[in-house]
């Protein structure tokens, strides 16, 4: 929906995912956890399956499906679930914006289904499948954003180009993560970019549909185009600071928890150590680690006899 | 040929190659096979040579040569095997589209000949040569597609740009495969993109030459351009699902075959195990594997004394 | 400031950083030093903290803050610290150039603060944080330079495009350095590009605001655009020679110092050896080195008990 | 020189370098030689220094210097060694084409000097320096080719864009070769591209200045632009075949030489073996090789005591 609410809602969705990722990856880094490409065999049965359903996947499905519904049937009484106008003689396509949005949202919903199937239903979690599904969703978003700009004003295009930039960088990072899933710099860069996509969409809604001055931004004023880029740079800075704050908060909360739990100073040291380990181990995924990971996986495969 | 049949036929060719690849790579993954850069020494002689002729190479040659013939001599009675018009005073070039298509098809036919020479005639199969030949064919296709768009309508250009995108991604993957020939993610991404090229060409034939409404798509209607991208995204999704279906079918067929053959449940486990191995071993080609591969090759070279 | 002094001052800043880097990296290469991702634990206390404050960080903060001040309040009496004009009815944005420059300079100042916090305040230096901060500053510069060109003359755009090229290459190198911080070729390429940015800004100030002929360069004269590229190529050559000169000077000075210090020829040999080691060790960061680095870091982490 | 001879002469230069590279790299591959980043210590003295002067470096200097001279003083009697016209009141730049060509040629001549200094004068050959010099030369060529196209006809631009493509790919390969100097696929791709640049420049001279029909190609005819790309694709195919022919010839000549020399079939086997080794060892520079290379270099450094 090329409306105020049509930009606010995906903005909030991206922002909530960004914040979720920020907490998730901070926890994983501070605890020294790693993404396992194939998890250990899990108990079967309907119950344990239900218990394993991931929040992230459900969020994706709910958001995606709601957005698709809204595109077609919002405001209530409207039905846009038609591709071409049968009444006109040459059957022209109608609702191109809506169908493009629907395509985008469907891919994200699909990625949610893949998450659930992989994490809850399959005998083992296949991280690779989940990663490929979300990568595909972002690539589709980039492709559609690119063709979304035909015949629009320069300010709107400028706003969308910057969104496309953030989206395309996420695509690149996700592609690299297929081969390097445990690189901490990539984790946090991705998180920051997703958060930036969110806040930028929120800001874009105001720029395009509710400018504070009450009058739409003029496209022939160069100052406007230059300030759009400026604002985007400030969004990056703000989201970086927000990310640092979430990381620090998680660190603090984790050290408190462990203090209360064991009543000793040791866990604190451990947290700090793992933080340092993060800081120096990130860049160079050592051969040592790789070999260890391989050994663990081989052991895993040998243990299971189903 | 800038005609309906001129887009349908390469579409079918790409699609058939894509499906062939899908089965081939599924089998290789499920059986845990690897591409060997240099095969073991093979028996000589005219007969064994003939027996080794690969279907893929023959397909490429037959398709390529037929297409070249069709470009020049179809419909029957026509002869387009001339580059410039001798009758006009300044000898202008004629049939530019035909000659560009011929160049493309020739490279694919050439790649077929290289496949046959490498797999059937040489004392050992040189996978590298085959890979370079097909890479060159796709790069040429990309280059020609890029210059193919001069002076055409926007809808036609939009369709060809998306085809170029798929083609260029195949080029990139093939280039990376020169150094990483056994990466499973690359195998299946390549397969999916080749299939998408095929189905997209089929769709393009209808969009450009046989629109369902009976009237050509208007180039000045933004909705048309936006729907072109939309359709392309749906093609990607459909081909991904088709690929998953082929993979599952192959897995099923393989486990059935082995059950009937040995009458035990063991092969089934093995298939599942190798599937899991695929799922986790893909991303990180471990040092261990590399060293092992090197050792195998060294052993191979030491064994042969011709 | 789109003025003569507004291009001279950042030019001098980049040039001084470039020369600083040239000496720093020459010394590190000739002494065989490496960047440590996490330094050893350092003495605490206010004093030792102050002693560790890096010149580079202070330079960044001073330059950045002064530049921000100058953008807003130079010439004296002017106040440009306002985003939009309240007097006009539609509140148009004003001072877009100034705000873009301020954004750029702030990121560099921020990077200076991160340098100081990491090198002086934290219990251990976290090189990764510093690297990410400066990378972000250069990416922001590239983004703003890109949008800086709206509605300007062709000569000015040509000059800025070449600056953007140098800036973007620095971005790419810094990104790679996050994962390969000790690659000598990257160190010196980065240094040369930063120096080129500096001298090119100095030259640009003269081209745009004080042409030697006294008349501004005509934008419709192709010869002007072609000479702009030409001059840029000469800047690269000059800066490469300057870099070689600094490297040789540092080598000479180092060998003299060590001769005087120990009174023997040995250190000289060592310097030459490390130079050769540089020459051949650069390209291939051997597995051996990596493993050693990992071991050192593990040892480091085991030693510290805070 | 934007003339027939001004395109023929660099074309011949590039072609001769390409053919030289083809023989050189074929020999190196068939003999199993490797580029050593730092050679063993060499005998000093004026004589041995002269004997080591490389043909390639001398060729670069001679070609480059002659071309620079021709740009300025050809046809005889002309002097173009002036940058701006002092006679006109606003001192406009003159001879932009000539100065751009001079810049290009100077970088190649400079690269020749670096070759000679590194291979003949320094106590050890520093391959890295030579590689960086030639890389810089090609990057400069790409940059100047890019800005060379202002205000020219579409056919001329099309021809130059394809030249730029070949040149830029050489740049990329040379950049990668700084870190992977012994990759055989890169060696031959580079060779093929340099040869293509040569033959394409020869063809371009005829297209632009001596068309076979006697009349210049019309820029508004799309067929012309499409045939330019077509011709370029044929150049790639022809040069690939030429490269294969040179490789085979070198192999034949080498096996004959060694047969005559030792009178046995063994060297032949060795040649074939090394050929196979090339074919399979190229893609995957094994860890084993890397470690071995490192060990060799360490040994080298320990042996020398100057």
DSSP reduced 3-state for B126? strand
Stronger pLDDT, A194 or D291, i.e. the higher one:
A194
Q: Do C279 and D128 touch (CB under 8 A)?
A: yes
Closest CA to B200 of B234, B169, B173: B234
Q: Which residues of D151-166 are buried (b: 16+ CB within 10 A; e: fewer)?
A: ebebbbbbbbbbbbbb
* Helices vs strands, H then E, count in chain C: 10, 0
How far is C-alpha A126 from the chain's CA centre? 19
Q: Is the pLDDT of residue D283 over 70?
A: no
Measure in Å the smallest separation between the Cα of B56 and chain A Cα atoms.
28
Which tokens belong to A185? 């710099």
Q: Which residues contact D264 (CB under 8 A, 6 or more apart)?
A: none
Measure in Å the smallest separation between the Cα of A197 and chain C Cα atoms.
16
Q: Which chain B positions have a beta carbon within 8 Å of A143's beta carbon?
A: 165, 229, 232-233
Q: Which chain C positions have a beta carbon within 8 Å of A284's beta carbon?
A: 37, 179, 290, 293-294
Average pLDDT for B46-62: 90
Q: What is the pLDDT of residues D162-210, one digit of tens each?
A: 999 999 999 999 999 999 999 999 999 999 999 999 999 999 999 999 8
Q: Which residue of B has its CA nearest to A298?
A: B277
What length does chain D have? 306
Interface membership of B233 toward A (CB under 8 Å): yes
Interface membership of B213 toward A (CB under 8 Å): yes
Among the partner residues D185, D221, D288, nearest to B92 by beta-carbon distance: D221
Q: Which chain D positions have a beta carbon within 8 Å of C273's beta carbon?
A: 301
CA angle B63, B69, B72 (to 5 degrees): 140
Which tokens belong to C150? 């709206």
Compute, in degrees rounded to 10, the torsion defined by CA atoms D185, D188, D193, D196. Answer: -140
Q: Check if the beta carbon of residue A206 is closer than 8 Å to that of residue A240.
A: no
Check the CA dihedral B179-B181-B182-B188 and report its sign. Answer: positive
Measure in Å the smallest separation between the Cα of D264 and chain C Cα atoms.
38
| Termini Cα distance of chain A | 49
What are the backbone dihedrals phi and psi of residue A93, each rounded to the nearest 5 degrees, phi first? -65, 145
Q: Do B132 and D222 touch (CB under 8 A)?
A: no
Q: Do C223 and D103 touch (CB under 8 A)?
A: no
Compute, in degrees rounded to 10, the torsion defined by CA atoms B38, B42, B45, B47. Answer: -100
Q: What angle do the packed helices D96-116 and C222-262 form, to 10 degrees?
A: 20
Contacting B residues, span 128-157, partner chain D, CB-CB under 8 Å:
128-129, 132, 136, 140, 143-144, 146-148, 150-151
Residue of C211, C268, C276, C293 to mutate when probing chain D, most D C-beta within 10 A = C276
Q: Is the pLDDT of residue B169 over 80?
A: yes
Using a 10 angstrom Cβ sphere, with 0-12 exposed, 13-18 middle and 19 or more buried, the burial of residue B78 is exposed
Measure in Å the smallest separation between the Cα of A220 and chain B Cα atoms.
22
- In DSSP terms, D84 is beta-bridged to D93
Using a 10 angstrom Cβ sphere, with 0-12 exposed, 13-18 middle and 19 or more buried, the burial of residue A241 is exposed
Stronger pLDDT, B209 or A45, i.e. the higher one:
B209
Average pLDDT for D227-232: 94
Q: Check if the beta carbon of residue A7 is closer than 8 Å to that of residue A67.
A: no
Q: Which chain B positions have a beta carbon within 8 Å of D235's beta carbon?
A: none
Interface membership of B283 toward A (CB under 8 Å): yes
Q: Which residue of C has its CA nearest to A274?
A: C301
Measure in Å the smallest separation between the Cα of C183 and chain A Cα atoms.
13
Interface membership of D178 toward C (CB under 8 Å): yes
Interface membership of A257 toward C (CB under 8 Å): no
Largest CA distance in chain D: 79
pLDDT by residue, tens only, chain C of 306 residues: 678 998 999 999 999 999 999 999 999 999 999 888 777 777 777 888 888 899 899 999 999 999 999 999 988 888 888 888 888 877 888 888 899 999 999 999 999 999 999 998 888 888 999 999 999 999 999 999 998 876 678 888 999 999 999 999 999 999 999 999 999 999 999 999 999 999 999 999 999 998 887 778 887 788 888 999 999 999 999 999 999 999 999 999 999 987 765 544 444 444 445 445 444 444 334 444 445 544 444 444 444 332
Q: Is the pLDDT of residue B2 over 80?
A: no
Q: What is the pLDDT of residues D30-67, one digit of tens each?
A: 999 998 887 777 777 788 888 889 999 999 999 999 99
pLDDT at B301: 42
Q: Is the pLDDT of residue B256 over 50?
A: yes
Which tokens belong to B153? 């309508």
Conformation bin of residue A263: beta by default, left when phi > 0, alpha when psi is -120 to 50: left
- In DSSP terms, D126 is beta-bridged to D38
Q: Which residue of D has its CA nearest to B299?
A: D277
Q: Do D229 and B146 touch (CB under 8 A)?
A: yes
| Termini Cα distance of chain B | 49
Which tokens belong to A237? 């800075």
Q: Which residue of B has its CA nearest to D218?
A: B92
Q: Do C147 and A229 touch (CB under 8 A)?
A: yes
Q: Do C301 and A277 touch (CB under 8 A)?
A: yes
Q: Do A287 and B287 touch (CB under 8 A)?
A: yes
- In this prediction the pTM is 0.87
Q: What is the pLDDT of residues D5-26, one digit of tens each?
A: 989 999 999 999 999 999 999 9
pLDDT at D154: 86
Q: How far is CA A289 from CA C16, C108, D207, in A?
A: 41, 35, 58
Closest CA to A30 of A251, A262, A283, A257: A251
Interface membership of D200 toward C (CB under 8 Å): no
Q: Which residue of A has its CA nearest to C147?
A: A226
Residue of C93, C103, C106 to mutate when probing chain A, most A C-beta within 10 A = C93
Interface membership of C296 toward A (CB under 8 Å): no
Q: What is the pLDDT of residues D62-115, one digit of tens each?
A: 999 999 999 999 888 888 888 888 888 778 888 888 999 999 999 999 999 999
Q: Which chain D positions have a beta carbon within 8 Å of C221's beta carbon?
A: 92-93
Measure in Å the smallest separation between the Cα of D235 and chain C Cα atoms.
29
Q: Which chain C positions have a beta carbon within 8 Å of D38's beta carbon?
A: 276, 279-280
Q: Which residues of D83-107 are buried (b: 16+ CB within 10 A; e: fewer)?
A: ebeeeeeebebebbbbbbbbbbbbb
Q: In which band, very low, low, confident or very high, does the pLDDT at B223 lie, cut at 50, 70 and 90?
A: confident
Q: Which residues contact C219 (CB under 8 A, 6 or more apart)?
A: C153, C154, C155
Cβ neighbours, 10 Å, residue C37: 23
Measure in Å the smallest separation between the Cα of B250 and chain A Cα atoms.
18
* Helices vs strands, H then E, count in chain A: 10, 0
Q: Which chain B positions have a beta carbon within 8 Å of D236's beta carbon?
A: 136, 140
pLDDT at C262: 55
Residue of C163, C265, C273, C280 to mutate when probing chain D, most D C-beta within 10 A = C280
pLDDT at A269: 47
pLDDT by residue, tens only, chain A of 306 residues: 678 998 999 999 999 999 999 999 999 999 999 888 877 777 778 888 888 899 899 999 999 999 999 999 988 888 888 888 888 877 888 888 899 999 999 999 999 999 999 998 888 888 999 999 999 999 999 999 998 876 678 888 999 999 999 999 999 999 999 999 999 999 999 999 999 999 999 999 999 998 887 788 887 788 888 999 999 999 999 999 999 999 999 999 999 987 765 544 444 444 445 445 444 444 334 444 445 544 554 444 444 333
Interface membership of B175 toward D (CB under 8 Å): no
Interface membership of B176 toward A (CB under 8 Å): no
The secondary element (H helix, E strand) that includes residue C193 is helix C184-209
Q: Check if the beta carbon of residue D250 is closer than 8 Å to that of residue D27.
A: yes
pLDDT at B214: 78
Among the partner residues B215, B222, B287, nearest to A90 by beta-carbon distance: B215
Measure in Å the smallest separation between the Cα of D306 and chain C Cα atoms.
7
CA angle C158, C159, C163 (to 5 degrees): 115
DSSP reduced 3-state for D148? coil
Q: What is the pLDDT of residues B84-115, one digit of tens each?
A: 888 887 788 888 889 999 999 999 999 999 99
| Residue listed under structure tokens 């075959």 | B257
Measure in Å the smallest separation between the Cα of A180 and chain C Cα atoms.
12
- In DSSP terms, D38 is beta-bridged to D126
Rounded Cα distance, A184 and A176, in Å: 12
- List subunits contacting chain D, requiring 3 or more Cβ pairs under 8 Å: B, C
Q: Which residue of A has its CA nearest to B237?
A: A107
Measure in Å the smallest separation between the Cα of C150 and chain D Cα atoms.
20
What integer best gives the mean pLDDT of chain B?
84
Cβ neighbours, 10 Å, residue C113: 14
Helices (H), D210-265: 222-262
Q: Which chain B positions have a beta carbon within 8 Å of A82's beta carbon?
A: none
pLDDT at A12: 96
Rounded Cα distance, D257 and C106, in Å: 69
Rounded Cα distance, A74 and B91, in Å: 62
pLDDT at C231: 96
Q: Which chain D positions have a beta carbon within 8 Å of C279's beta carbon?
A: 37-38, 124, 126, 128-129
Contacting C residues, span 17-56, partner chain A, CB-CB under 8 Å:
37-38
| Residue listed under structure tokens 């399959």 | A122
Q: Which residue of C has its CA nearest to A220?
A: C151
pLDDT over 90 for what percent of chain B? 52
Among the partner residues C96, C143, C301, nearest to A222 by beta-carbon distance: C96
Q: What is the pLDDT of residues B264-283, one digit of tens each?
A: 444 444 444 544 544 444 43
Largest CA distance in chain C: 79
- In DSSP terms, C194 is beta-bridged to none
Helices (H), chain B: 4-31, 46-51, 55-73, 96-116, 127-147, 154-179, 184-209, 222-262, 266-281, 287-303
Rounded Cα distance, B78 and B45, in Å: 43
């Amino acid at each position: 929906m090329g409306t105020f609410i049509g930009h606010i809602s995906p903005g909030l969705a991206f922002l909530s995912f960004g914040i979720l990722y920020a907490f998730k990856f901070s926890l994983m880094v501070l605890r020294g956890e790693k993404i396992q490409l194939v998890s250990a065999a899990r108990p079967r049965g309907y119950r344990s399956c239900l218990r394993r359903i991931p929040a992230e996947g459900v969020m994706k499905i709910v958001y995606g499906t709601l957005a698709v519904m809204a595109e077609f049937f919002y405001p209530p009484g409207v039905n846009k679930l038609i591709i071409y106008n049968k009444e006109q003689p040459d059957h022209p396509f109608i609702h191109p914006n809506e169908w493009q949005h629907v395509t985008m949202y469907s891919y994200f919903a699909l990625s949610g289904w893949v998450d659930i199937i992989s994490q809850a239903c399959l005998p083992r979690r296949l991280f690779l499948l989940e990663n490929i599904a979300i990568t595909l969703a972002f690539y589709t978003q980039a492709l559609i954003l690119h063709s979304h700009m035909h015949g629009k004003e320069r300010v709107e295009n400028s706003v969308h180009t910057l969104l496309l930039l953030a989206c395309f960088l996420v695509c690149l990072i996700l592609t690299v993560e297929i081969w390097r899933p445990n690189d901490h710099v990539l984790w946090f860069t991705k998180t920051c970019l997703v958060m930036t996509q969110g806040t930028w969409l929120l800001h874009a809604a105001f720029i395009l549909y509710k400018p504070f001055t009450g009058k739409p931004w003029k496209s022939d004023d160069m100052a406007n185009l230059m300030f759009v880029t400026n604002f985007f740079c400030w969004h990056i800075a703000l989201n970086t600071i927000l990310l640092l704050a979430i990381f620090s908060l998680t660190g603090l909360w984790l050290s408190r928890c462990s203090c209360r739990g064991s009543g000793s100073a040791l866990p604190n040291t451990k947290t700090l150590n793992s933080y340092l380990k993060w800081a120096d181990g990130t860049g160079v995924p050592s051969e040592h680690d790789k070999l260890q990971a391989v050994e663990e996986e081989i052991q895993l495969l040998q243990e299971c006899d189903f």
